[in-house]
Amino acid sequence: MSYVEVPGAQVPIRMWADPASVEDVAMQQLRNVSTLPWIKGLAVMPDVHFGKGATVGSVIAMHGAVCPAAVGVDIGCGMSAVKTSLTANDLPGDLSRLRSKIEQAIPVGRGMHDNMVEPGRLHGFPTAGWDDFWSRFEGIAEAVKFRQDRATKQMGTLGSGNHFIEFCLDEAGSVWLMLHSGSRNIGKELADFHIGQAQKLPHNQGLVDRDLAVFIADTPQMAAYRNDLFWAQEYAKFNRSIMMGLFQDVVRKEFKKARVTFEPVISCHHNYVAEERYEGMDLLVTRKGAIRAGSGEFGIIPGSMGTGSYIVKGLGNAKSFNSASHGAGRRMSRNAAKRKFSTKDLEDQTRGVECRKDSGVVDEIPAAYKPIEQVIDQQRDLVEVVAKLKQVVCVKG
């Protein structure tokens, strides 16, 4: 489908979803965002749903301002994927050992490494900028500086919620490695701190929703936020790179005889800010639950833990601010999913996938998400499909 424009908004809201399928509270959030004086346009993705301040699955372009809640609290959250030389024929019948080895190498949930992972020991890890990145920690908000020890030990860890590590097969039988994570707790604390700071500023006192508080260009508060924001986005990127390095080490050891090789890693944020130019104007574009899909750019759009994912290539549609969806998107809350589904339902919906099937992940059951095929179909003018993946191992936080 192409987009439809939402009526009654103060700036164009282009929606790659059926408006009738979007929650009323999410539609109201979109209209609320459109009232901000600095906004130049919104693009709404097929996986749109209610979020804090701004919907998940929205792309918001502003001139001279940025809204921290339109970035998402897990700053820099995103995906990484890599195609390997392995095929389905290389896999053992029982994949439980492989899942166990991944979980041993990469802490999940609230876990962390005993000591910071040394990137030099990871095969092919891109170490450029690593030392400079950590030296800039001294410049971030005082309110979170005491978290440095935890931040170093959480680097290269998965987290919880909808984050995952997967071993997948494409339709030709090739094996892919894929993972989803962000800036861990340090990014969330920076986001929460700056949202609180923005809410105190005089120009934000009359907003329709206090969670839409913004920072304005050329102010000390904006400078401080941009510094911490871009640092956290870099943390998230390094976090995924280290996890992918650890993941590849596991695969090399478990499939030693196959002498596994890896293609270049595809990586993309889906909670972040970028400086981009549209119609002759420099804009700050926030993608909250959306990926950049410029012409020829690779992206990753995952489904739920039992349905599979897509590797895509952007078509460079300026109407969407060169964006596409970040996943299937939830169609019910975590609490609603826990009330409706049982571990038996989870077992049924993840049959054939080596993964957790206990009550702790029922809220991640596939039926709690929108159908990924439908989400892909609704954005055929934003991306083209490169590969369809189906997970055979899924590690959840």
Q: Which residues are catalytic?
A: 326
Given the DSSP bridges, would you call strands 13-15 and 39-49 parallel, antiparallel or unpaired?
Answer: parallel
> Which residue in 316, 233, 225, 232 sits closest to 268, CA to CA?
233
Residue with the two structure tokens 């924001």:
229
> Which residue in 53, 13, 74, 66 sits closest to 269, CA to CA?
74
> What's the CA gap between 180 and 165, in Å, rounded?
7
DSSP for residue 369: B
Q: Which residues pair with 178 in a beta bridge?
A: 81, 166
CA dihedral 308, 347, 392, 370 (to 10 degrees): 10
Residue with the two structure tokens 């164009």:
12
> What's the CA gap between 232 and 61, in Å, rounded?
20
Cα Dmax for the chain:
65
